[in-house]
Amino acid sequence: MEGVDYLRDERQKAQFDVEAMKVAWAGSREAFQLSDRMANLVANDPAFEKFTRPMLDRKELLKNTLRKAAHGWKLIVDLRLTQEEAKWLRLYIDEPAYTDLHWGMFIPAIEGQGTEEQKKKWLPLAQKMQIIGCYAQTELGHGSNVQGLETTATFDPQTDEFIIHSPTLTSSKWWPGGLGKVSTHALVYARLIVGGDFHGVHGFIVQLRSLDDHSPLPGITVGDIGMKFGNGAYNTMDNGVLTFDHVRIPRNQMLMRVSQVTKEGKIVQSDVPRQLIYGTMVYVRQTIVADASKALSRAVCIATRYSAVRRQFGSRNGGLETQVIDYKTQQSRLFPLLASAYAFRFVGEWLLWLYTDVKQRLAANDFSTLPEAHACTAGLKSLTTSATADGIEECRKLCGGHGYLVSSGLPELFAVYIPACTYEGDNVVLLLQVARFLVKTVSELGYKTPVGTTAYMGRVASLMQNNCVVKTAEGWLNPGAIVEAFESRAARMSVRCGQQLAKFENPEEGFAELSADLVEASVAHCQLIVVSKFIEKLQQDIPGKGVRETLEVLCYVYALFLLHKHQGDFLATGYLTPKQASLANDQLRTLYSEVRPNAIALVDSFSYTDHYLGSILGRYDGNVYPKLYEAAWKDPLNDSDVVDGFHQYVQPILKQKLRTSKL
């Protein structure tokens, strides 16, 4: 029935102020109001309909995306939206498009790496979308190893130009979003060659297509790399392939904020420190962590609502069957993901603060926190994207068979999200970078005080000696006990790796041999960061009846779930006894019962429209089964009772005339 809220009884169980929780999730009342306004602007505009997206062929799919991007830009211009409003509008349109790379990578790179003169020339054009840019770094043969890129930029002092060239097949630029069919310009990363010598990898602004008829310019070969994982999913994006055949560009199109090439062919380092580039990296990774919380919370919202709607088994005397959400097996899989969504949201909030802090320090030529900030953001990018990709798939399984339907929203969400585990740094490679930093921190403990998220390493002596003192299940409801457990685990694993590495004559051989252990130490460190930042969030002023108390429960669920999942680490390091690990699990089960009455209200607090969720299973009103039935009949296969091809291929089999039929 239309207009009936099938989840009303669930919503009435809430033990906290949902409107206040929405503000806590958004970060502030202003942020909530802005986000909500943009979400509803998109949801109420039929131009942004997305139900039919998975049924379109590739050409129609891309054309449909181009139409939506154009309509979105028209709204931005006509309504004079601010940059922040425009960012949220694009998010809620919820369709990967060339605009993501234009605004998210091309423009920030020019802002961060361009000179004042270059910014004055290129940014107005890009911000008015008079040119459309992409970020061409990854190649067919190299991704994570940026120093291994093969595209060359050779300086010609006679013409004051760079010659951009693809010397091998594997030097082809491969993957940049927007490159395939739309971008007019690319920020191309290439090996700088001056006077026959290699001077590192640098960025160059290169025009790819004519601004008159959009045809590729001479020396440019460009196209789309083909279909990717999923139905619609990321196939709305024109990821491209690009090769250069001695393409000449003016010298001033090399981004020269840090390093410059003079007319005479001399390399000059500017007064701007190279480390400034890391500021952009911190910002990009912060947005990736924030996106992880959005994607995971969407999946959790769908799975939680459907778990409350769906009933299976447990009927007595012909009564109602049991809601799936009431089974402990469902709760033990679902509620940690709900807690993770909130944990990632708050650590993303903290990362935004970290970015601001790093930016201010860089402006004052203070680079002391940069290595720690770089390692921290690399690790959190890896941790949150991996957990989110796995979490979305777990939510699909939590929805039973119907989770496999495209109309559940989960297959599309999964297919769109999982590239995050690879772009902006492969997740395992990033964890190995964190490990190098941790091992270095351990080796310097005798004479250098660790800072920021590694400050706990300064207490390594006590963390190595003191073991857990928790004696009851309730004893785990103590932030101090939780943090000490995660600090001890992380410190002991890092120190152990350092000790093992010291046994190798060649450190690099040791690092390669122990890489799996090093990755685990990095995960332990990153999980400590998320747990401690969740606890720090709870020490802030959080208004609203029951909001802080409910978030405390989620914080303990997140921490104790990790402790249970990784109890091998805690036991192997000697910090916990098996009895204490068992008590933690006992407390975790009790916490699930506390989350249960608030589950629907907690996902309502994300304040997602049905349009943004894109899921029949996750509908706000819980009217799932009639809408699933209705959607099935909209599939193009149901346009006729007798399917095209029946008479040609099926009927001959039924009539035993296959030998004489023309297949």
Q: Nearest 5°: phi and psi at 267?
A: -90, 125
Show Cβ contacts of residue 360 under 8 Å, excluding neighbours closer than 6 positions.
none
User: Is 138 marked as a binding-site residue?
Assistant: yes
Higher pLDDT, 661 or 216: 216
* The pLDDT value given to residue 497: 96
Distance of alpha carbon 630 from alpha carbon 474, whole angstroms: 49
* The pLDDT value given to residue 52: 86
Cα 308 off chain centre by: 27
Beta bridge partners of 261: 267
Question: Given a cut of 80, is residue 495 above it in pLDDT?
Answer: yes
Average pLDDT of span 85-97: 96
| Residue 412, CB-side half-sphere exposure with 13 Å CA sphere | 26
The tens digit of pLDDT for each residue in 538-565 reads: 999 999 999 999 999 999 999 999 999 9
Distance of alpha carbon 366 from alpha carbon 349, whole angstroms: 23
Residue with tokens 């505009």: 45
The tens digit of pLDDT for each residue in 374-397 reads: 899 999 999 999 999 999 999 999
Cα 286 off chain centre by: 9
- Taking phi over 0 as left and psi of -120 to 50 as alpha, with beta for the rest, 265 belongs to left
Contact of 261 with 161, CB cutoff 8 Å: no
CA angle 192, 194, 197 (to 5 degrees): 85
CA distances from 590 to 474, 499, 596 (A): 10, 39, 10
Question: Given a cut of 80, is residue 1 above it in pLDDT?
Answer: no
For residue 106, which of 192, 188, 190 has the smallest C-alpha distance? 188
Question: Given a cut of 80, is residue 373 above it in pLDDT?
Answer: yes
The tens digit of pLDDT for each residue in 270-328 reads: 877 777 777 777 888 899 999 999 999 999 999 999 999 998 898 777 788 899 999 99
pLDDT band at 26 (very low <50, low <70, confident <90, very high): very high
Question: Given a cut of 70, is residue 2 above it in pLDDT?
Answer: no
Which range is least confidently modeled, 168-182, 248-262, 351-365?
A: 351-365
- Taking phi over 0 as left and psi of -120 to 50 as alpha, with beta for the rest, 196 belongs to left
The tens digit of pLDDT for each residue in 414-463 reads: 999 999 999 888 999 999 999 999 999 999 998 999 989 999 999 999 99
Distance of alpha carbon 525 from alpha carbon 366, whole angstroms: 25
The tens digit of pLDDT for each residue in 27-86 reads: 999 999 999 999 999 999 999 999 888 889 999 999 999 999 999 999 999 999 999 999
Which of 206-220, 230-244, 357-371 is modeled with the greatest confidence?
Answer: 206-220
Question: Given a cut of 80, is residue 660 above it in pLDDT?
Answer: no
Portion of the chain with pLDDT greater than 90, in percent: 85
DSSP 598-660: GHHHHHHTT---HHHHT-STT-TT--HHHHHHHHHTTSGGGGSSSPTTIIIIIHHHHTT-TTT
Q: What is the pTM of this model?
A: 0.94
Cα 1 off chain centre by: 37
Active site residues: 424
Which two tokens mark 521? 């130490």
Contact of 155 with 143, CB cutoff 8 Å: no
User: Is 177 marked as a binding-site residue?
Assistant: yes
Distance of alpha carbon 11 from alpha carbon 621, whole angstroms: 11
Burial of 223 by CB count in 10 Å (0-12 exposed, 13-18 middle, 19+ buried)?
A: middle
Residues in the chain: 663
DSSP state of 268: E
Q: What is the gyration radius of the CA atoms in the chain, in angstroms?
A: 27
Which two tokens mark 342? 């909130």
Average confidence score pLDDT of the chain: 94
* The pLDDT value given to residue 125: 98
Average pLDDT of span 578-588: 97
Distance of alpha carbon 414 from alpha carbon 398, whole angstroms: 14
